[in-house]
Amino acid sequence: MITHVLIACSKTKHRPVSKNLIWNKKTTIERWNYSWRSELNLTPACELYNGRALQQQLALCSQYKGTKAHILSAGAGLISDIEDAIPSYEATFQSGRGPTKTNWKRLPLGGLSNLQLEPDDVVVSFAPPQYHQALLKDHDIRRIAPRLTVPETSPLSEVASSTLPIHARAKEFLGVADVDLNTAFLRTYLSEGVDGFHNIISACDNLPPKVNRRRVSDDELLEIMIGADQCKTLDSFVRHLRDDLKIASSVERIREAMKILSEK
């Protein structure tokens, strides 16, 4: 039995993008496919993307026997062999900057029709909603659905044979930022299976009442951080702002403010 994991690609890449492979409002699927096939500067897909979440999820899949990673791309389609060499590109599912979700399966590498499954194989995915919405438009999703496991919050939950319970405070319990939540879910699934998600639900139900934190503007956040002389690291700023001052701010926003401070 093989567990096929469908992982979202990342916007950031190691190689510069060809001007012919930057999707704009005038791009058609036919022109895109022609430019893709004409590009000679190619890189193995597993090396092209340098997004943290994608690289961590590929590493997780490599650690578990019987697990095969596939990459979902708004520019390529389904990259079923992550060693395949592909061009660098710029395309998303945002309006005017990539294909429609209906056209996703018509991209250069095709869609779910390329996902070959043996009788006992299963498919799991924790990709962001826009990728699952594209899969939902793929006619082959009906073939995959009886083997598919996704979070209950996924657009694919309406067709998947199995869904995983997700607690609203899972991120808090797991101690991860938004960008790392799907990686944490994949780690839980590969190491503990469905039981791991029920354990998260139980743990979240036993968390103390959620603290009400006030929101501040970017300028106010920066001023507060300037005055926090005792904080030197990202973690110390996060703990001081959230625990001591009861301020609501994401790790990414605090990291960006730290960058501004260092430049000053």
Whether residue 196 is contained in a domain is answered as no
- State mean pLDDT over 113-134: 95
What pLDDT score does 264 carry?
A: 66
Residue 249 confidence class, pLDDT cut points 50, 70, 90:
confident
What pLDDT score does 262 carry?
A: 84
Whether residue 186 is contained in a domain is answered as no
Does 26 have pLDDT greater than 70?
Answer: yes
Note whether 234 and 117 are same-domain residues. Answer: no
Q: Comparing 47-51, 94-98, 137-141, which segment has the lowest mean pLDDT? A: 94-98
Note whether 14 and 114 are same-domain residues. Answer: yes
Report how far residue 114's alpha carbon sits from residue 35's, in angstroms, rounded to the nearest whole number: 21
Note whether 31 and 127 are same-domain residues. Answer: yes
CA atoms within 13 A on the CB side of 3: 19
The domain containing residue 23 runs over which residues? 3-162
- Supply 73's token pair: 């791309």
Whether residue 209 is contained in a domain is answered as no
Count of the separate structural domains present in the chain: 2
Amino acid at 261: L
Note whether 146 and 226 are same-domain residues. Answer: no
Report how far residue 1's alpha carbon sits from residue 200's, in angstroms, rounded to the nearest whole number: 26
Whether residue 182 is contained in a domain is answered as no
Domain end (from 146, 162, 178): 162
Mean pLDDT of the chain: 93
Contacts of 114 (CB under 8 A, 6+ apart): 77, 78, 80
Note whether 142 and 77 are same-domain residues. Answer: yes
What pLDDT score does 177 carry?
A: 85
Residue 216, burial from CB neighbour count under 10 angstroms (0-12, 13-18, 19+): middle
What pLDDT score does 212 carry?
A: 85
Q: Over pLDDT 70: what percentage of the chain? A: 100
Report how far residue 19's alpha carbon sits from residue 89's, in angstroms, rounded to the nearest whole number: 8
Note whether 113 and 28 are same-domain residues. Answer: yes
What pLDDT score does 107 carry?
A: 97
Note whether 146 and 231 are same-domain residues. Answer: no
- Supply 246's token pair: 């009861």
Residue 33 confidence class, pLDDT cut points 50, 70, 90:
very high
Whether residue 98 is contained in a domain is answered as yes
Tell me the pLDDT tens digit for each residue of 158-203. 999 999 999 999 998 998 888 899 999 999 999 999 999 999 999 9
- Supply 58's token pair: 């590929």
